[in-house]
């Protein structure tokens, strides 16, 4: 009578054990998982700072990272309102190929660094990114992510904090985010309607990707940073209280409304207004042209740039009239070789 249930139990144990083994193998087959779990070879701790681990051939870069580390840690702790909770390592790879193979990205990936739950990884690309040495900035940016993950827990961070805020905060703290898209280009895109989508919370299991709504990562970073900096410039004390609340686990939307006197969409509208005014003032076009408003100043500026052949803004082709139109602009910019004609949209 007892033999059958005992066999059943035995099979249940074997099945459970097998499932755990298979799940573990599936995880460990991923390079990124092995790097995150520190299951890597060929790295040694730097003598002058044992937090920094280097691959053979990366000693000089690792030393530069170690030199930059104290200031980067201080900056993150000061801006993000809390000390790091636990120790961490910085892994410095000898080549971008080694870096991308460890983090499971294609070799052509422009990623300079990445934060895992316990560590930060740095590519040599951080030292020569787009002809700039950005290793201090890349280090600080990734430490911002690592810090937020430490103080909130990675589950809470991913679930509660929207990725635009995580990236915008890291970009503000580290002075990154404008390497490939300038503030001016980000402003122009915002005014033309090509805007970052502002989630009110994070997403599990993975954050929303900007590619899902046709935005590049550099543009996503530039606009996210702009909005975070706007929040700070609007009221530095409120911003500090808001960051403090988020870092200590408050619900994102609640902390936002409490500190900025309105919900996300309300404050975003104020931000759009300030961007329009900033661009209009920067171009100076509205002071010299009749009927010019901040909204159509961008189109006039674009027209000038089209004439010079220097624009990279996305255009929508107007079907039968052969005109191109900027997203959301109230004026058309008719584009011909070496010529650009403006016309109000209502009369087009």
Closest distance to Zn ion from the beta carbon of 133 (Å): 19
Q: Which residues bind to Zn ion, rule: CB under 5 A?
A: 167, 170
Q: Where are the alpha helices (DSSP H) in the chain?
A: 3-28, 31-36, 59-79, 96-103, 135-152, 154-160, 163-174, 183-191, 217-234, 236-247, 252-260, 264-283, 294-308
* Nearest to Zn ion of 55, 167 (CB atom): 167
* Nearest to Zn ion of 167, 188 (CB atom): 167
**Do 148 and 247 form a contact (C-beta atoms < 8 A)?**
yes
* Nearest to Zn ion of 165, 260 (CB atom): 165
Give the pairing of strands 52-55 and 89-92.
Answer: parallel
**Do 324 and 316 form a contact (C-beta atoms < 8 A)?**
yes
Closest distance to Zn ion from the beta carbon of 27 (Å): 23
* Nearest to Zn ion of 137, 167 (CB atom): 167
Using H for helix, E for strand and C for coil, what is the string for 189-235? HHHCCCCCCCCCCCCCCCCCCHHHHCCCHHHHHHHHHHHHHHHHHHC
Please list, in sequence order, all residues whose beta carbon lies within 8 angstroms of the beta carbon of residue 333, skipping any fewer than 6 positions away.
299, 302, 303, 306, 315, 323, 324, 325, 326, 340, 341, 342
Rounded CA separation 262/237 (Å)? 16
* Nearest to Zn ion of 167, 185 (CB atom): 167
Closest distance to Zn ion from the beta carbon of 301 (Å): 30
Closest distance to Zn ion from the beta carbon of 132 (Å): 17
Closest distance to Zn ion from the beta carbon of 65 (Å): 17
* Nearest to Zn ion of 170, 181 (CB atom): 170
Closest distance to Zn ion from the beta carbon of 137 (Å): 11
């Amino acid at each position: 009578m007892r033999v059958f249930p005992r066999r059943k139990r035995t099979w249940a144990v074997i099945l459970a054990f097998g499932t755990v083994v298979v799940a573990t193998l599936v995880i460990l087959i991923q390079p990124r998982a092995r790097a995150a779990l520190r299951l890597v070879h060929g790295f040694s701790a730097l003598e002058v700072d044992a937090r920094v681990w280097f691959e053979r051939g990366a000693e000089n870069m690792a030393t530069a990272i170690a030199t930059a580390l104290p200031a980067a840690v201080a900056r993150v702790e000061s801006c993000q309102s809390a000390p790091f909770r636990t120790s961490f390592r910085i892994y410095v790879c000898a080549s971008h190929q080694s870096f991308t193979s460890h983090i499971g990205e294609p070799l052509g990936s422009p990623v300079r660094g990445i934060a895992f739950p316990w560590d930060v990884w740095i590519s040599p690309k951080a030292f020569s990114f787009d002809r700039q040495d950005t290793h201090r900035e890349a280090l600080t940016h990734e430490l911002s992510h690592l810090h937020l993950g430490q103080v909130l827990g990675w589950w809470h961070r991913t679930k509660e904090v929207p990725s635009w805020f995580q990236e915008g905060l890291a970009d503000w703290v580290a002075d990154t985010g404008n390497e490939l898209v300038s503030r001016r280009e980000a402003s122009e895109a915002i005014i033309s309607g090509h805007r970052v989508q502002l989630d009110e919370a994070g997403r599990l299991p993975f954050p929303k990707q900007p590619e899902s709504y046709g935005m590049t990562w550099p543009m996503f970073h530039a606009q996210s940073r702009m909005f975070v900096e706007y929040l700070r410039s609007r009221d530095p004390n409120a911003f500090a209280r808001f960051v403090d609340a988020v870092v200590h686990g408050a619900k994102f939307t609640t902390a936002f409304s409490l500190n900025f006197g309105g919900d996300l969409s309300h404050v975003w509208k104020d931000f759009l207004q300030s961007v329009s005014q900033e661009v209009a003032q920067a171009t100076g076009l509205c002071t010299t042209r009749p009927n010019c408003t901040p909204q159509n100043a961008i189109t006039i500026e674009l027209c000038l740039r089209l004439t010079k052949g220097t624009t990279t803004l996305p255009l929508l082709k107007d079907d039968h009239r052969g005109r191109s139109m900027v997203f959301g602009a109230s004026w058309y910019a008719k584009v011909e070789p070496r010529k650009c004609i403006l016309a109000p949209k209502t009369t087009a």
